[in-house]
């Protein structure tokens, strides 16, 4: 009968397996991870009998595969272990079609990066110039109003002037909201201004930005669907198998 304590131990054991960072473990090390794991509280460390029972449960659930003296916890390692045990060739991580598509997208995005880099630099420079002139204009307006208020006419004359200036600014802000359907704030303007400049610069260079966006999305989907990690677990499996066969030959 499965008790609540054993379920807690199994939960900590699963966490210890995931956090150990290893896909292939000797069976003794795997048992030690369950019974003496450093990340597991002492009251939730399994006994040897519980560890054997838990390993059998994982094996029945196809979550691990035990080949000789090694335990494989990664999905790809499990597949490779089964193929090695059966004498079959290892399954390639990716098909040739996916690899060709990956390289084609990489070359397309690299070409887009080379073509769009000057446009991006000009767009960023113009964005900085825009905000610099905006700050200069705002500062000049405040300086002129302050000078006329405190040095020339006084507040009685300048009060309606400042009122109409403020009202005109508010009306411009409202017109921006009506036209762009976006909040008139520094963040909103900045988020929309740079893409607008960039698209215009790319249009001047006749760069197909829509195609680049489609390629980026395709690359993200491809990377999510297929792992192109060079450090494939099967290399470790082959190394372990060769090491075992070498030691057997020497003995």
pLDDT at 143: 92
Q: What is the pLDDT of residue 13?
A: 85
Q: Would you state the pLDDT for residue 133?
A: 92
Q: Write out the chain's pLDDT in tens, 251 residues.
A: 567 788 888 888 888 888 887 778 888 888 888 888 887 888 888 888 888 888 888 888 878 877 777 888 776 666 666 666 676 666 665 556 767 777 888 888 888 778 778 888 888 888 888 889 989 988 998 899 899 988 888 888 888 888 998 899 889 888 888 887 877 777 777 777 777 777 777 777 777 777 777 877 877 777 666 554 444 444 545 555 565 566 556 55
> If you classify domain 1-87 with CATH, what class do you get?
mainly alpha
Q: What is the pLDDT of residue 140?
A: 92
The alpha carbon dihedral of 172, 173, 176, 177 has a sign of: negative
pLDDT of 231 reads 45
- CA 18/CA 13 separation, integer angstroms: 9
What are φ and ψ of residue 70, in 5° steps? -120, 150
The boundaries of every CATH 1.10.10 domain in the chain are 1-87
Reported pTM: 0.44
What is the spatial distance between Cα 57 and Cα 78, in angstroms, rounded to a whole number? 16
């Amino acid at each position: 009968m499965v008790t609540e304590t054993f379920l807690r131990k199994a939960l900590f054991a699963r966490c210890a397996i995931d956090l150990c960072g290893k896909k292939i473990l000797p069976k003794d090390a795997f048992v030690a991870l369950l019974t003496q794991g450093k990340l597991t509280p002492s009251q939730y460390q399994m006994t040897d009998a519980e560890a054997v029972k838990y390993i059998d449960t994982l094996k029945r659930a196809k979550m691990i595969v035990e080949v000789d003296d090694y335990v494989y916890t990664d999905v790809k390692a499990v597949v490779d272990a089964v193929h090695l045990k059966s004498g079959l060739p290892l399954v390639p991580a990716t098909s040739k079609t996916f690899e060709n598509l990956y390289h084609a997208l990489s070359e397309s995005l690299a070409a887009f990066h080379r073509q769009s880099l000057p446009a991006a630099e000009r767009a960023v420079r113009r964005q900085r110039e825009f905000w610099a002139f905006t700050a200069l204009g705002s500062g000049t307006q405040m300086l002129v109003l302050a000078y006329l208020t405190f040095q020339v006419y006084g507040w009685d004359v300048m009060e309606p002037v400042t009122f109409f200036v403020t009202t005109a600014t508010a009306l411009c802000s409202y017109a921006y909201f009506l036209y762009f359907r976006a909040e008139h704030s520094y963040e909103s303007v900045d988020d929309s201004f740079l893409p607008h400049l960039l698209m215009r610069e790319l249009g001047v260079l006749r760069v197909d930005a829509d195609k680049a966006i489609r390629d980026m999305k395709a690359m993200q989907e491809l990377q999510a669907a297929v792992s192109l990690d060079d450090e494939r677990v099967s290399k470790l499996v082959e190394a372990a198998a060769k090491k075992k066969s070498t030691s057997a030959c020497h003995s």
